[in-house]
Amino acid sequence: MAFSPSCSTSADVSDTAYRTMSEVLGEPIASEADVYKLIRAGVPFASYQAASVLLGTPSGLIARRRHGSPGGHRLDEVESEGLLRVVRVYAEARDLFGTHEGALRWLSTPRTYIPDVPAIRPMELAMSDPGARLLISEINRTAHGIF
C-alpha cells in the first residue's frame, strides 16, 4: 500500500482540530501535509493578524515583521510554524472545552507545567515545539480522563 501524505492525519490531531485551524487562519487545512505546505509558503500576514485578534495573542509574540511584496506579505517559516503551533493548541483546547471562551481562558491562565519552572501561560508555552507537545499531551489525557 502506497503512502499518501494528502490523506494522512496525525494521531494527535483530530479532524475537528484541523477544521478549527482552517477557520482561525482562513486557509485550507485538512492534514499535516496542509500544515507543512502552509509553513513552507508562509502564513499570509492578514491571516496572522486575524488569528492574533481572535486568540488575543500579545503583539509581537509570534511575528514582528512582514515579508514579501506589498499585498503579499507572509510570515517566514519560523514565525509560521510558531503561529501554527499556537493555533493547533487552541484548536485542541476548543475541542476539549467546547467553546472559544473556555479555550481562551485555559490558554491565558498561568500554571506550573514543568517542575522547577515558574507558572507559565499555555499561550506562551505553545510557542516552542516541546511546550506545544506537552500541552497537547495534557489535553489528550484530560479528554480521556487521565489525570
List, for residues 15-48, the tens digit of each pLDDT value: 889 999 999 999 999 999 999 999 999 999 999 9
The interaxial angle of helices 77-97 and 45-55, nearest 10 deg, is: 40
Q: Is residue 103 part of a domain?
A: yes
Q: Is residue 33 part of a domain?
A: yes
Looking at residue 15, what is its pLDDT?
84
Q: Is residue 59 part of a domain?
A: yes
Provide the residue-wise pLDDT of the chain in tens; the chain has 147 residues: 443 444 434 444 578 899 999 999 999 999 999 999 999 999 999 999 999 999 988 766 677 665 554 556 999 999 999 999 999 999 999 999 999 999 999 999 999 999 999 999 999 999 899 999 999 999 999 988 887
Is 80 within 8 Å of 2 (Cβ atoms)? no
Q: Is residue 2 part of a domain?
A: no
Tally of structural domains, the chain? 1
Spatial distance between the Cα atoms of 88 and 77, rounded to a whole number of angstroms: 16
Spatial distance between the Cα atoms of 101 and 19, rounded to a whole number of angstroms: 18
Residue type, 40: R
Query: 86 vs 38, 93, 94, 104, CA distance in Å?
Result: 14, 10, 12, 11
Provide the domain limits for residue 117: 15-143
Looking at residue 7, what is its pLDDT?
41
Looking at residue 84, what is its pLDDT?
96
Q: Is residue 4 part of a domain?
A: no
Q: Is residue 7 part of a domain?
A: no
Q: Which residues, including other chains, have CB under 8 Å from residue 119's CB and lie 6 or more apart?
A: 110, 111, 112
Cell of 14: 483530530
Q: Is residue 1 part of a domain?
A: no
Spatial distance between the Cα atoms of 85 and 79, rounded to a whole number of angstroms: 10
